[in-house]
Amino acid sequence: MTKINIPLPSTPYNVYLEEHLLDHFSSYLTTVDDMVIITDSGIPTAYVHTVKEQLNDPLVFTIPAGEESKSLTNYQAIIEEMIAQNIPKSGTVIALGGGVVGDLSGFIASTYMRGISFIQIPTTLLSQIDSSVGGKVAVNSKLAKNAIGTFYQPKAVFIDPIVLNTLEENQLHSGLAEMIKYGLIKEPSIIDILEKDDWRSNLLELIEMSIIVKRDIVLQDEFDQGIRHILNYGHTLGHAIEQHSNYQFLHGEGIAIGMACMARKTPFYQRLVAVLKQFDLPYTLPYPLKELVPYILKDKKVHDKFLHFVLVETLGQAIIKPIPIEKVQEYLEEII
Ligand code: GLY
């Protein structure tokens, strides 16, 4: 068992990482009563049963798989039913699924009776190494991804890499894009490992390395006021692509393109493209830049009329560059 402590002053918690952890995660809980499982239609029923049978008669909500489910409509439907079912303040919301389930569940937990306990059991690589750790929870507005949300840390995160065996290949690759991001912004040895033929035999270590990069950044800036922006390398363009495609591009695919665009003029561009190609990830802009700019200007990294772009010029060293919003299109045309 690997235990990664996230020692945030207000909410310290542990990320537990172990093969077959799903079968006995409840041994780490102080209670198994008043549990609410939120999962989606893409999660194998065997996983839902394994979680459910360790709890005392939990309430289970299954939302349709897909980004569209991260909606105010689902938020309201679930929270009203929790009220109707008398889930007490001492209850716990368990997110069993990927980033959509985790973000929606966390937002529900953060607002139900002004906040109840929240546990993450992420089942995609992307949610295991990114969205389940660090406390960002949200639903999408029709106009902007993650526009309605807050910071709400889980009580614990349980990661079982065995569940990745049933993950579709494109979803696994989408998660690898976030892993490559950690390599670019902070820990180039992650890329060294991914470039090897036997990278998959190091998956547990890669997950741990990724969470440690994220942990160390979140500890410096829990509420995303500065340095935490570097976790969004490639995301400004990536989110715009995801939204403009109506979420036909997976998150990791969008950020793969975003990272490649931002790295276009760097010495490591060819190396980045090679590793993206290795995992069938896209790396060229699928739409004219001007179609993406309206989404880009709604990015949460716009402060005081400046968009804070994340740049990596030297592998492993990310910097933040503020660009006046009226110059954003011109700036991007120059670097892409
Ligand atoms: N996924 C970016 C962050 O957690 O800040």
Q: How far is CA 270 from CA 88, 99, 261, 265, 328, in A?
A: 54, 30, 12, 10, 25
pLDDT in tens, 276-304: 999 999 999 999 999 999 999 988 778 88
pLDDT value, residue 298: 85
Whether residue 113 sits in one domain with residue 201: no
Whether residue 187 sits in one domain with residue 152: no
pLDDT value, residue 268: 98
Whether residue 124 sits in one domain with residue 26: yes
Q: Is the pTM of this model over 0.85?
A: yes
Domain of 220, CATH number, reads 1.20.1090.10
DSSP string of 63-111, one letter each residue:
EPSSGGGSSHHHHHHHHHHHHHTT--TT-EEEEEESHHHHHHHHHHHHH
Confidence of residue 43 (pLDDT cuts 50, 70, 90): very high
Cα 231 to ligand 1 centre (Å): 5
pLDDT value, residue 257: 98
Within the chain, what is the greatest distance between any pair of CA atoms?
58
pLDDT value, residue 300: 78
Phi, psi of 191 (to 5 degrees): -70, -40
Mean pLDDT of 32-41: 98
Whether residue 257 sits in one domain with residue 133: no
CA nearest neighbour of 272 among 168, 194, 202: 194
Q: How far is CA 79 from CA 60, 76, 86, 106, 128, in A?
A: 12, 5, 11, 12, 25
Q: Which of 166, 200, 227 is the last residue of a domain?
A: 166
User: Terminus-to-terminus CA distance in the chain, angstroms?
Assistant: 43
Strand, coil or helix: 320? strand
Cβ–ligand 1 contact at 34 (below 6 Å): no
Cα 84 to ligand 1 centre (Å): 33
pLDDT value, residue 332: 95
Domain of 100, CATH number, reads 3.40.50.1970
* Residue type present at position 161: P
d(CA 26, CA 81) in angstroms, rounded, equals: 24
pLDDT value, residue 304: 84
Atom 2 of ligand 1, nearest CA residue: 231
pLDDT value, residue 196: 98
pLDDT value, residue 272: 98
Cα 189 to ligand 1 centre (Å): 21
Cα 218 to ligand 1 centre (Å): 8
pLDDT value, residue 209: 98
The pair of three-digit structure tokens given for residue 306, joined into one six-digit string? 């400046």
Whether residue 247 sits in one domain with residue 124: no
Ligand 1 pocket test: which of 181, 231, 300 has the largest number of ligand atoms within 8 Å of its C-beta? 231
Whether residue 183 sits in one domain with residue 138: no
Query: What is the percentage of the chain residues whose pLDDT exceeds 90?
Result: 96
Confidence of residue 189 (pLDDT cuts 50, 70, 90): very high
Residue ranges making up the domain that contains 12: 2-166
d(CA 301, CA 294) in angstroms, rounded, equals: 14
Q: Which of 125, 143, 166 is the last residue of a domain?
A: 166
pLDDT value, residue 273: 98
* Bridge partners (DSSP) listed for residue 61: 38
Whether residue 180 sits in one domain with residue 302: yes
pLDDT value, residue 178: 98
pLDDT value, residue 302: 83
Whether residue 323 sits in one domain with residue 179: yes
pLDDT value, residue 155: 98
Strand, coil or helix: 50? helix
pLDDT value, residue 69: 97
Mean pLDDT of 137-165: 95
Cα 222 to ligand 1 centre (Å): 10
Whether residue 84 sits in one domain with residue 62: yes
d(CA 180, CA 252) in angstroms, rounded, equals: 10
Q: Which of 146, 166, 186 is the last residue of a domain?
A: 166
In 124-250, which ranges are E strands? 136-139, 148-151, 156-159
Whether residue 187 sits in one domain with residue 120: no
Whether residue 103 sits in one domain with residue 203: no
Total structural domains in the chain? Answer: 2
Whether residue 175 sits in one domain with residue 40: no
pLDDT value, residue 145: 85
Running DSSP on this structure, what letter comes out for residue 42?
T
Mean pLDDT of 207-218: 98
pLDDT value, residue 130: 97
pLDDT value, residue 89: 98
Q: How far is CA 41 from CA 38, 101, 116, 253, in A?
A: 10, 10, 24, 22
User: ∠ CA 81-86-89 to the nearest 5 degrees?
Assistant: 110
d(CA 267, CA 280) in angstroms, rounded, equals: 22
Mean pLDDT of 127-133: 97
